[in-house]
Amino acid sequence: MSSSNPSMVVKFYGTRGSIPVCSMDFLEFGGNTSCIAINLPDKNVLNIIDAGSGIRTLGQELMQSGSKLPEEMTIGFTHFHWDHIQGLPFFPPAYMKNLKINLLMMGRDSDFDKLKKILFDQMGGDFFPISMDEMGANFNFVSMKHKVTQNSTGMSVTARLHSHPGGALSYRIERNGKVVVISTDIEHNPTIDQKIVDLARNADLLIHEAQYTTEEMVGKEGWGHSSYQQAIQVAQMSNAKKLIMTHHDPNHNDNFLTKMETKCQKEFPNCLLAREGMVIEL
């Protein structure tokens, strides 16, 4: 799925759920936790979803690219569990003086102060030698409603709250007639969440978590995650054109995931399991 003049370029920097893993058995699909970059090439604008450990690699690429940093950089969060925020202290651009980085909260105004507290509390004191105030970048905390349109880029973002311990958000991102939907850390039980199916309706690209097999889901009610089969169901019910499954369980090595990908493609041919470094142009 590519274009000579893409509207959006999606790249995976972290595909693992729960905790980073590192061994020879985890090289193909990657061991870093959640981070997805959505670049708008014609506007030099970068949007980042989640700041798991994968955001460190993204930051290194930005610093080593030889070109100037994006004119605008926004980090939006699906939620604030450790595997989705732990990479922020290691994001090199965050130490660049006067660089503006928007930290986005959507659809949950009552938790806006909570976002600031969580991000500040994971740094400084007993947890990290540098406080967020000392990093250098100008962090701009932004609170928005469930849907917002950026006039400068022509991009619209819609957020929907879904079931996960503490709550989490799914995002629908639209630009120039192309649609990307990201839904991770979502529990559908007992039935598929129709709100998320509606959010993903006719998406060009659906990125949906698939941490467990159907068998592994037994006894994990309330843990806040989905199975491969549920991700496929959402794609089928929403008429999504392409499905990428992510948030791989730390116990699932390359051999397991390769076999699972082949199995899933028999049910939904246009699907893949996310790999670190994977790029999709829309």
Q: Could you give the maximum distance between any two Cα atoms of the chain, in Å?
A: 51
CATH of the domain at 89: 3.60.15.10
**CA 240, CA 259: separation in Å to the nearest integer?**
23
Instruction: Tell me what pLDDT residue 1 has.
Output: 47
In a domain, 3, yes or no: no
Which residues of the chain, if any, have pLDDT below 70? Answer: 1-4, 66-67, 107-115, 145, 151
In a domain, 118, yes or no: yes
**Domain region containing 47:** 9-281
In a domain, 4, yes or no: no
Instruction: Tell me what pLDDT residue 144 has.
Output: 72
Phi-psi region for residue 239, left (φ > 0), alpha (ψ -120 to 50) or beta?
left
In a domain, 212, yes or no: yes
- The DSSP bridge partners found for residue 9 are 39, 281
Number of domains in the chain: 1
Q: Which amino acid is at 204?
A: D
For 214, other C-beta atoms within 10 Å of its C-beta total 10
Instruction: Tell me what pLDDT residue 88 has.
Output: 93
Instruction: Tell me what pLDDT residue 116 has.
Output: 76
In a domain, 2, yes or no: no
In a domain, 1, yes or no: no
DSSP-derived letter for residue 68 is: P
In a domain, 26, yes or no: yes
pLDDT, one tens digit per residue, over 100-152 is: 898 887 765 555 566 677 778 888 777 888 888 889 888 888 877 677 777 68
Instruction: Tell me what pLDDT residue 67 has.
Output: 65
